[in-house]
Amino acid sequence: MLIRLGYDIEFNIPQPVAVVALLSVHPSRAPDLFEPDELNIDPMVQKENYFDQFGNRSTRFFAPQGKLHVWNSTLIHDSAEKDLIDYQAQQHPAIDLPVENLTFLMNSRYCEVDRLSNIATDLFGNTAPGWERVQAIVNWVHCRVEFGYQHARSTRTALDVYTERVGVCRDFQHLAIAFCRCMHIPARYATGYLGDIGVPTSIEPMDFSAWFEVYLGGRWWTFDARHNEPRIGRILMATGRDADDVAITTSFGMAELTKFTVVTNEIRDERHAA
């Protein structure tokens, strides 16, 4: 299956400002690209590509005053398979985890492990460690948090989600991540493209999506507390401790968002089938 990915974003820049963009497809999906995946910037500026501390492909540049336009369109091959499932995947004792995964057991900006630990133990302490426990967490968050774009708030933390029981994609994932970490399961935030492929088309405008990954049985697995079903066409862009690590753009000064369009569509074109 081929998927057309892209974005078209504009900002108003009152004063020149340094910007970091995290808009590239994740390096793990680079072999699947059929076309270049490059950040286009208008006005043309010098840019620096680098890999951040989590292995995400990032771009740094200096934006002049005025309108800033960033865009890209690329084509990627996808297996057309749903997210993988392994009900037998086992939870690792913390002492046996790879040291690089320990950070995904700890507090982060939006995931207050210390403040949610007693709650998580009460809710999930009697579930079987491993896949069953993660799925129980996902089921709980999915059923008890109400989704709605009107609930979006950039400062909402996992504890806020637990208290308020409302949120958007990132909020569902933050609470599930925090609960997993409370139960000593490494969990990391993920962001990328997730189009309406294999599911009814949403009436809402397309956006980048959030999900999360847990480390079980020696590898990372995808879970999604907002949708709570295996999906087709999930294209990873970045992973981190929470949404703070994977912001699509970070400006070190004022940058007013004025346009935001995301595209992710299955392409049925025989010219690209080979």
Is the predicted pLDDT of residue 271 greater than 60, yes or no?
no
Q: How confident is the model at residue 273 (pLDDT cuts 50, 70, 90)?
A: very low
pLDDT for the residue numbered 274: 40
Cα–Cα distance, 197 to 81 (Å, whole number) = 11
- % of the chain at pLDDT higher than 70: 98
Write the pLDDT tens digit of every residue in 179-223.
999 999 999 999 999 999 989 988 888 899 999 999 999 999 999
Is the predicted pLDDT of residue 242 greater than 80, yes or no?
yes
Which range has the worst mean pLDDT, 44-48, 201-205, 225-229? 201-205
Q: Tell me whether residue 140 is in a domain.
A: yes
- AA identity, residue 49: N
Write the pLDDT tens digit of every residue in 49-60.
999 999 999 999
Co-location of 197 and 258 in the same domain: no
Co-location of 116 and 231 in the same domain: yes
Residue 190: φ, ψ to 5° = -135, 145
Global model pTM greater than 0.85 = yes
Co-location of 99 and 228 in the same domain: yes
Other beta carbons within 10 angstroms of residue 43's beta carbon come to: 10
pLDDT for the residue numbered 205: 81
Q: Tell me whether residue 216 is in a domain.
A: yes
Domain with residue 206: its CATH number is 3.10.620.30
Report the chain's mean pLDDT, rounded to a whole number: 95
What is the Cα 159 distance to its own chain's centre?
Answer: 19
Co-location of 257 and 201 in the same domain: no
Is the predicted pLDDT of residue 272 greater than 80, yes or no?
no
Instruction: Compute the Cα dihedral for 207, 4, 226, 31 and give only its sign.
Output: negative
Co-location of 100 and 236 in the same domain: yes
Q: Tell me whether residue 87 is in a domain.
A: no
Is the predicted pLDDT of residue 89 greater than 90, yes or no?
yes
Cα–Cα distance, 104 to 90 (Å, whole number) = 17
Write the pLDDT tens digit of every residue in 110-134.
999 999 999 999 999 999 999 999 9
Co-location of 237 and 255 in the same domain: no
Co-location of 215 and 255 in the same domain: no
CA distances to 112, 163, 213, 225 from 146, in Å: 20, 12, 21, 11
Task: Show the domain range for 199.
Answer: 94-243
Q: How confident is the model at residue 240 (pLDDT cuts 50, 70, 90)?
A: very high
Residue scoring higher pLDDT (12 or 202)? 12
pLDDT for the residue numbered 268: 79
Cα–Cα distance, 69 to 67 (Å, whole number) = 7
Q: Tell me whether residue 274 is in a domain.
A: no
pLDDT for the residue numbered 61: 98
